[in-house]
């Protein structure tokens, strides 16, 4: 019985990380100086999300990059909708993202959440009594299946003029070949002009492997993608870097640096320019622009 309870508390697959990350948004929303307010996050995370949080060693110590990521994505997304004429947002592996309900999006904006059927059912149940700010569609699809992403994009971009694709917290769980395939497929759709993502480095992958090694770690949701070439990885697949936001620099701007951040500043005083640039790209949030056409 105890073993079964522990298994239920552990992360079973990548989808379960959505419950865990939702709690970070809930905790930030409850701060007096909150960067954003997600009144739905705790409800969507539920009891299981809290149990997962308790089983991930040191989970509270890594809340800051999740909070910073949410805020930076909010800022970039709203700017693009307001300035670049984005009329369609395709949120791949959407998880428990509640932006269609909590952000001041234009009513005409078409927001499409794409995820596994079980995740969308859980989310729709939790949000049944809420009204989205914009036109909202939930599209169930297993993106691991051949042709699934193409079918989704063929359908949802048919009426679109300018599409933003969002993959928040997804790519790090994929193999490089899977990311390359994803990039080519998105680029093959002419309305998909922009792609917003978070990007890890090999240094971050090594750090996380050591940080969460053990029986109660993330064996069922391992981190895989952290290209040595950084955003240049996407160039052969139809994309170029339009904007890069360093996680650490954004955390400093938003006053969400971890307690030990002062050590980074000390190391930086003695580091070479090349090393400082590597640290700047340790982890970041990236806006890619379609290179073709």
Q: Residues with Cβ < 8 Å from 210, sequence gap 6 or more? A: none
pLDDT of residue 269: 55
Contact 90, 157 (CB under 8 A): yes
Helix (H) or strand (E) holding 246: strand 239-246
Question: Taking the model in full, what pTM does it have?
Answer: 0.89
Please tell me the least confidently modeled range out of 60-74, 139-153, 263-277. 263-277
Residue 216: pLDDT above 80? no
Residue whose C-alpha is closest to residue 162's, from 109, 198, 115: 109
Distance CA 41, CA 70 (A): 12
pLDDT of residue 52: 76
Domains of the chain and CATH, by start: 63-290 (3.40.50.150)
**DSSP 3-state assignment of 223?**
coil
Residue whose C-alpha is closest to residue 254's, from 94, 73, 61: 73
Please tell me the least confidently modeled range out of 88-97, 179-188, 202-211. 202-211
Distance CA 38, CA 69 (A): 14
Count of CB atoms within 10 A of residue 256's CB?
20
Helix (H) or strand (E) holding 121: helix 117-126
Mean residue pLDDT of the chain comes to 87
Percent of the chain past pLDDT 70, that is, above it, reads: 81
Helix (H) or strand (E) holding 115: strand 110-115
Distance CA 101, CA 203 (A): 36
Q: Summarize pLDDT for 137-188 with one digit per residue, the tens.
A: 999 999 989 899 999 999 999 999 999 999 999 999 999 999 999 999 999 9
């Amino acid at each position: 019985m105890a073993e079964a309870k522990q298994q239920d508390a552990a992360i079973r697959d990548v989808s379960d990380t959505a419950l865990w990350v939702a709690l970070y948004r809930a905790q930030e929303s409850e701060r007096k100086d909150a960067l954003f307010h997600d009144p739905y996050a705790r409800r969507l995370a539920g009891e299981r999300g809290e149990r997962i949080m308790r089983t991930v060693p040191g989970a509270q110590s890594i809340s800051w990059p999740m909070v910073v990521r949410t805020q930076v994505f909010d800022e970039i997304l709203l700017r693009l909708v307001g300035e670049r004429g984005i009329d369609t947002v395709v949120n791949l592996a959407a998880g428990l993202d509640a932006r269609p309900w909590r952000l001041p999006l234009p009513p005409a904006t078409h927001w499409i959440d794409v995820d596994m059927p079980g995740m969308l059912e859980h989310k729709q149940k939790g949000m049944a009594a809420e009204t989205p700010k914009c036109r909202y569609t939930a599209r169930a699809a297993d993106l691991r299946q051949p042709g699934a992403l193409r079918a989704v994009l063929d359908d949802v971009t048919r009426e679109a003029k300018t599409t933003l694709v969002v993959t928040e917290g997804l790519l790090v769980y994929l193999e490089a070949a899977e990311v390359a395939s994803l990039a080519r497929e998105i680029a093959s759709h002419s309305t998909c002009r922009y792609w917003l993502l978070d990007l890890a480095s090999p240094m971050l992958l090594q750090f996380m492997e050591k940080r969460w090694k053990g029986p109660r770690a993330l064996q069922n949701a391992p981190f895989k993608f952290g290209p040595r070439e950084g955003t240049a990885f996407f160039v052969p697949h139809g994309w170029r870097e339009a904007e890069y936001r360093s996680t650490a620099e954004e955390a400093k701007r938003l006053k969400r640096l971890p307690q030990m951040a002062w050590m980074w500043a000390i190391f930086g005083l003695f580091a070479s320019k090349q090393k400082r640039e590597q640290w700047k790209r340790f982890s970041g949030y990236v806006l890619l622009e379609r290179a073709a056409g």
